[in-house]
Amino acid sequence: MAEDKKPDAPKPAAPPAGAPAPAAAAGAPPAGGPPKPPDPVIKLPKAPDGMMTLRVNGTDHFINPKKYRTLIGALHDLGYDVPHFCYHPGLEPDGNCRMCYVNTIDVMSGKPMLGLQLAKQPFERYPKPTISCKEPLNPRGMVIETESAAVLEARKWVMEFLLINHPLDCPVCDKAGECMLQNNSYEHGKADSRFLEAKNEKPPKDLYGPEQMLGIKLWTDRCITCTRCVRFLDEVSGTSELYVSNRGDRSEISIAPGHPVNNELQGNIVDICPVGALIDKDLMFTYRAWYFQRTPSVCPDCSKGCNIEVHALKQYVRRLVPRENTDVNGWWMCDRGRHDFHYINADQRIMQGRIKDEAWPVVSACEEAGKKLAEAAKGGGDGVAALASAWLTLEEMHVLKTLFKDTLKSEQIGVLAQADWQAAEFPKFKIEADHNPNRAGAKLIFGEGTEAKAQQIIAAANAGKLKALYIVSSMPHFEPSAELLEAMSKVPLVIVQDLQRGALSQKAGVVLPGSSFAEKDGVFVNKDGRAQVLRRAIDPLGQGNDDLAVLQRVAKGAGAPDAVSKLLSAREVFRRMAEQYPPLAGQTHLTLGKKGLAPAVQEVK
């Protein structure tokens, strides 16, 4: 944080015990004017304009009060561990779990306020620990204690109350390992319970309708009624399927009969559930959270480019969850993207290079393809054409472009893209219609009008003008048009690099393995021109070659110079290519970071 500066002078204010407020003896206020407020015991350093002073555990911070809705956001940003359940930065604060207690010190007397002179003082003062998720920031300055004895005590009792009806079934609960109740109980709770009575057991409920393939199951007994799910469905998805019924310790999350939770953001309520009450039916019982390898990545399913985390286990992608990026997706992702990973480890994946009429897979198929391309390009470069896709990363597009322009001397590069899907808009989330992650990137690398160019290439192929066609698809849901399939049969040499066996690979003379987003490093540019880095979550299934390596090996076979054909990592390729594209100048994967930068915005838009 920029404004997280510590001034030199101030020290933790030691409240003078029993000292009378010096203000009392300050003398009579000047006649006629408003009464002068007494001087406070704790003198906070003056903050710069627009900022406020927040003294936490004796350390002063200058923060911008307009940046945070309530105190807990500022405390979390400053790095203080304030435990919480119901508070979520993406939702309106509700203040029902009472876990985020902090002490607010009275600036006048320097003591936690006892509530006698509540209205008389200019600074707000509180008789008890207060919940920081509902506590607005006071621009005149605040003094907070997050670790005082009273606060720790209060949190301990809150934990004990929350655990009264919570079953002790962590070993069979899918949330175990990433459960906020487990973590906070370990950090702030007691080891044992004094509750001897029978626990209030409530029946589990199915939140999905009979026709729903995907759905969520609710274990009502595990629920601590934080109402995060209720508030999410009210505020973000706007569908409001869930509500709280009954009162007290019998209150439970309920659903109206015949109105199941069925919207395209429902997976998020499983993520934000602080306990294991909401579990995705798709993954239920099949995983343990601590075994997942978690890799930050970017969802490829629409041009929004939601930041996600790929959870993989033993080289299998098992789960995609959203990652916080308030500039792109907030804390959420849609269910279309969340459940669209089954093609990665599917049986139809192309794992090896094959050449037509060869009985067995060819180990050097990539180099062979390159040689054939170079031969076809001998009679004039425009006899060979490439069809890239909007699912390739910038690095792959760059290698393909360099191969065709510099080595094969061909200008014939078009871009294929998946057909749009239906856009969807929610109160606080939008699913884009563009079903491709990197259309803006294709525009950046190849220039304008590449998709029209693809149509020209297909038309030229249909007219029999092409000698070779190199299709780099790697699109999981691409449905080739009839013209493209017809054109493929009229070109003597068709090289297809794709994820799955299908219509494209059947018509190909050479088939090369492609790779999905989980198998490669690279950069996608989303619709706003924000360049975001993908990271490799599992090893590439194409015998260890991801799309970039396959392209580099093809370039090697075609006799391209080392700059293109050397097997460099995506990070290195990006570093070397960035200078050629002004919006990316000076950037590397490291400077793009986990949340991406928006260097390409102006140029692409």
Binding site for another protein (CB under 8 A): 171-172, 201-203, 221, 245-246, 284-286, 288, 290-291
CA distances from 205 to 254, 259, 276, 278 (A): 8, 13, 13, 10
Six-digit token pair at 503? 């219509």
What are the phi and psi torsion angles at 237 (to 5°)?
Answer: -85, -20
Min separation Cβ 227 and another protein, Å: 18
| CB closer to another protein out of 293 and 456 | 293
| CB closer to another protein out of 195 and 291 | 291
Min separation Cβ 161 and another protein, Å: 21
| CB closer to another protein out of 172 and 359 | 172
Min separation Cβ 259 and another protein, Å: 17
| CB closer to another protein out of 178 and 324 | 178
CA distance 500 to 344: 9
Min separation Cβ 255 and another protein, Å: 12
Six-digit token pair at 169? 């079934």
Min separation Cβ 544 and another protein, Å: 24
Min separation Cβ 246 and another protein, Å: 6
Q: Which residues 6+ apart lie within 8 Å of 56 measured at CB? A: 75, 78, 80, 144, 145, 146
Min separation Cβ 176 and another protein, Å: 8
CA distance 388 to 386: 6
- The alpha carbon of 569 is separated from its chain's Cα centroid by a whole number of angstroms, namely 24
| CB closer to another protein out of 285 and 360 | 285
Residue of 417, 431, 254, 413 whose CA lies nearest to 335: 431
Q: What does the DSSP 8-state code read for residue 602? A: H
Question: Cβ-count burial of 575 within 10 angstroms (0-12 exposed, 13-18 middle, 19+ buried)?
Answer: middle
| CB closer to another protein out of 202 and 553 | 202
Min separation Cβ 268 and another protein, Å: 24
Six-digit token pair at 256? 């109206």
Cβ atoms of residues 347 and 336 within 8 Å: no
CA distance 303 to 434: 6
| CB closer to another protein out of 9 and 198 | 198
Min separation Cβ 327 and another protein, Å: 37
Six-digit token pair at 165? 């009806």
| CB closer to another protein out of 290 and 360 | 290
The label of the residue with tokens 């322009």 reads 405
| CB closer to another protein out of 202 and 323 | 202
DSSP string, 198-234: PP-----EE-S-TT-SS-EEE-GGG-----HHHHHHH
| CB closer to another protein out of 23 and 313 | 313
The label of the residue with tokens 């260890």 reads 544
Min separation Cβ 387 and another protein, Å: 41
DSSP string, 540-588: -TTTT--HHHHHHHHHHHTT--HHHHS---HHHHHHHHGGGSGGGTT--
Min separation Cβ 188 and another protein, Å: 24
Min separation Cβ 247 and another protein, Å: 10
CA distances from 311 to 119, 376, 514 (A): 53, 43, 21
CA distances from 236 to 90, 158, 239, 271, 425 (A): 9, 28, 8, 14, 10
Instruction: Collapse the DSSP code of 519 into the 3-class scheme (helix H, G, I; strand E, B; otherwise coil) and give the result.
Output: helix
CA distances from 489 to 205, 238, 509, 551, 588 (A): 55, 49, 10, 23, 41
| CB closer to another protein out of 201 and 211 | 201
Cβ atoms of residues 291 and 318 within 8 Å: no
CA distances from 198 to 166, 171, 253, 262, 313 (A): 11, 20, 21, 35, 39
| CB closer to another protein out of 342 and 378 | 342
